[in-house]
């Protein structure tokens, strides 16, 4: 019985973590959009950031929120935010 309760708790925590990640994607996308508008990065680097942003949005829409967050983090690192 104890194993069932622990398993249910772990499963619940894992599902809730995915939901939390999903909620942060739109906010991060807006933050990147804002930074792109004021950035002084060179064209090649800016193209890389825009590609990462597009990829992240597609990952988010497909339900792969963990990969979306990782891709957003990479874009934010390049932008310095």
For 16-60, how does the pLDDT look when each residue is reduced to its tens digit (9 = 90+)?
444 444 568 899 999 999 999 999 999 999 999 999 999 999 999
Residue 71, classified by CB atoms within 10 Å of its CB into exposed (0-12), middle (13-18) or buried (19+), is: buried
Sign of the C-alpha dihedral, residues 24, 61, 53, 77? positive
Are 72 and 25 a contacting pair, CB within 8 Å?
yes
Give the domain ranges of the chain: 2-79
CA distance 17 to 11: 10
Q: Which residue has the higher pLDDT, 35 or 2?
A: 35
The phi-psi region of residue 41 (left if phi > 0; otherwise alpha if psi is between -120 and 50; otherwise beta) is beta
pTM of the predicted model as reported, rounded to 2 decimal places: 0.70
């Amino acid at each position: 019985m104890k194993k069932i309760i622990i398993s249910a708790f772990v499963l619940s925590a894992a599902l809730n973590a995915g939901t939390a990640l999903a909620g942060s994607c739109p906010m991060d996308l807006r933050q990147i959009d804002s930074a792109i508008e004021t950035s002084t990065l060179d064209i090649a680097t800016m193209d890389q950031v825009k590609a990462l942003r597009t990829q992240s949005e597609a990952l988010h829409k497909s339900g792969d929120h963990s990969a979306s967050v990782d891709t957003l983090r990479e874009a934010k690192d390049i932008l310095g935010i």
